[in-house]
Amino acid sequence: MRRLGIFLFCAASLAGQAGRPNYDDDVKPVFARYCLACHSAGEMRSGLNLETYNGVLKGGSSGDAVIPGRPASSTLYKAVAHEGDGVPRMPLGGAKIPDSSVALIRDWIQSGLLENATSTPKGNIGPSLDFKPGSLNKPSGPAAMPGALPPVTLPEPEKANPITALAASPWAPLLAVAGHERIYLYNLEKRAPAGELPFPEGIPYTLRFSRDGATLLAAGGKGVQSGKVVLYDVKTGNRLAALGQEPDVVLAADVSADGKLVALGGPGKLVKVFSVGSGKQLYQLTKHTDWITALEFSPDGTRLATGDRSGGIFLWDSATGGPAGNFADHKDSITALSWRGDGNFLASSSEDGQIILWNVMDGFPVATIAKAHQPKPPAGTFGTPPGGVLSLQFASDGRLVSVGRDSVIRVWGMDGKQKAAAAPAPALLTRVAASADNKLIVAGDFTGKLQFWDGKQLVAVRLSEAKPATAASLGTVKPASGRD
Ligand code: HEC
């Protein structure tokens, strides 16, 4: 496994270990009950002795069993949680131990492998998983909402397109939805359309509000013809800038928190970073070996995360383009990257079915959600249908929302555990966004409809006048995201 090249450790200070599990009082009883028959001084299967604290630290014949602060990378945790490839499932030949014991072992590793109630944690246990929403990038005045926008004169397409991009303003009750050569705006408070913006460049594959909500970025284009990034003033709808002269669609783009940088990428395998002021390209990033499918600036704008169609994720210093890290656990196309509001964690989703929560400081996952959106095989069929995760976003309250090939909106905590899930939607959900007040999760679907979920009910909304695509015309269940 390749790991982060540059480590930016931060000293974790801890005020007392009360409430944190320790080996003597909490973990050893679990081992005694389920493991010592095979992992004790007398019966040391695979060279692993769990009977003593030092035995656990020593590990087994395949090396370290536990890494302080990193349950998701610890063999022992993977063995009891039945997660990960190539790790034996423990207890061998027995039933999985209770979830509460798995959680205890996870918390024990996460909080630094305490031996007893008075010991200090080992290793770098990293930033807190808890999140308190802050006011970073909050606009000083009222959050931008569109005024009366001129109508878009382009005719609606005959058939509705799958929703290829969706974004919610981080501060206002405003949603932006990709259409064909246009962007629909929607007022989430009034539950009413709020105007349209023309995007004659083609189909938007990415929509992003700036971190203060004042600017809307749309990126896309026409397949194998042209690609562009356009910035709009949210209040007036005016085009502020158009960047990139790409020979193919732009699949991923973002604008930095200070509004000065725009990064874009697509089938060209290059990430290009432009100055919004001069319109000139500042630098390009050449490390990706496949199409750029996702990218996002950190909330403070200092770093840029980029992901590709082969599962590679890189981190960069946004001012210079210098490499700042490499997160390599995904095995298929990265579909989304999202930073938590404090910039300490990055979430990635992939067609490989996983959601991974990365500690940005050291490049290790704090949680891996395998098979996050695995559909059930249709009745009477065998085999596993594709279970890709198609879109994900950190909500401003620190929860993670995602959609995937099971057509279900799901909400996750930082421990990688599911906190809520909507009823399955009638069509494949392609994109997801959480409203600024976190009361609503909105997903776009394959037939051009939105699904609004308030935690209780799914409500379908259609913004386009176009006829929904029929099941027969859908063909394969792939989002029309320009990927082949
Ligand atoms: C019935 C016997 C048995 C029980 C009970 C058992 N294990 Fe194991 N364990 C084994 C064997 C055998 C291996 C080697 C398996 C392999 O390499 O495929 C192993 C391997 C492991 C390894 C990998 C060690 C290494 O370095 O190769 C870990 C970690 C582990 N067990 C943890 C546990 C834990 C934790 C429990 C209790 C929850 C447990 N085991 C219960 C028999 C057992």
Instruction: Give, for all 484 residues of the chain, the pLDDT tens digit.
Output: 334 433 333 333 333 345 689 999 999 999 999 999 999 999 999 999 999 999 999 999 999 999 998 888 899 999 999 987 789 999 999 999 999 999 999 989 988 999 998 888 887 666 777 788 888 899 988 999 999 998 888 888 888 889 999 999 999 999 999 999 999 999 999 999 999 999 999 999 999 999 999 999 999 999 999 999 999 999 999 999 999 999 999 999 999 999 999 999 999 899 999 999 999 999 999 999 999 999 999 999 999 999 999 999 999 999 999 999 999 899 999 999 999 999 999 999 999 999 999 999 878 888 899 999 999 887 887 778 889 999 999 999 999 999 999 999 999 999 899 999 999 999 999 999 999 999 999 999 999 999 999 999 999 999 887 776 654 444 433 444 444 4
Predicted local confidence at residue 234, as pLDDT = 98
CA of 278 from ligand 1 middle (Å) equals 60
pLDDT at residue number 10:
32
Pocket of ligand 1 (CB under 6 A): 34-35, 37-39, 45-46, 48, 59-62, 65, 75-76, 79-80, 88, 90-94, 97
Distances (CA, A) of 94 to 99, 230, 357: 15, 57, 30
The answer to whether 229 and 221 are in contact (CB under 8 A) is no
Contacts (Cβ under 8 Å, ≥6 apart) of 201: 181, 218, 220, 221, 222, 226, 227, 228, 230
Please say whether the beta carbons of 84 and 76 come within 8 A: no
Site to probe by mutation for ligand 1, drawn from 26, 43, 46, 77 as the one with most ligand atoms within 8 Å of Cβ, is: 46
Q: Give the model's pLDDT for residue 128.
A: 74
What pLDDT is recorded for position 469?
60
Task: Report the atom number in ligand 1 closest to the C-alpha of 75.
Answer: 29
Tell me how far the alpha carbon of residue 75 lies from the centroid of ligand 1, in angstroms: 10
Confidence at residue 18, expressed as pLDDT on a 0 to 100 scale? 52
Cβ neighbours for 461, distance < 8 A, ≥ 6 positions apart: 186, 191, 449, 450, 451, 452
Q: Where on the phi/psi map is residue 482: left (φ > 0), alpha (ψ -120 to 50), or beta? A: left
* Cα 340 from chain centroid (whole Å): 9
Pocket test for ligand 1, best of 23, 31, 39 (most atoms within 8 A of CB): 39
For ligand 1, atom 29, name the residue with the nearest CA.
76
Sign of CA dihedral 382, 388, 393, 394: positive
Residues 271, 285: contact at Cβ < 8 Å? yes
pLDDT score for 158: 82
Asked whether 440 and 411 are in contact (CB, 8 A), the reply is no
Of 44, 92, 101, 104, best ligand 1 pocket probe by most atoms within 8 Å of the beta carbon: 92
What pLDDT is attached to residue 19? 67
Q: Which of 305, 322, 387, 342 is nearest to 127 (CA)?
A: 342
Taking the C-alpha atoms of residue 21 and residue 23, their distance in angstroms, rounded to an integer, is 7
Q: Ligand 1, closest atom to CA 35?
A: 37
pLDDT of residue 126: 65
Q: What's the pLDDT tens digit per position in 341-367?
A: 999 999 999 999 999 999 998 788 888
Answer whether 429's CB lies under 8 Å from 410's CB: no
Nearest CA to ligand 1 atom 31: 90
Using CA of residue 62, residue 68, residue 72, residue 73, what is the dihedral sign?
negative
In this prediction, what percent of the chain has a pLDDT beyond 90? Answer: 76
* Token digits of residue 334: 């990265």
Q: Which two tokens stand for residue 401?
A: 């929302």
Are the C-beta atoms of 202 and 249 separated by less than 8 Å? Answer: yes
Q: Tell me, what's the pLDDT at 72?
A: 82
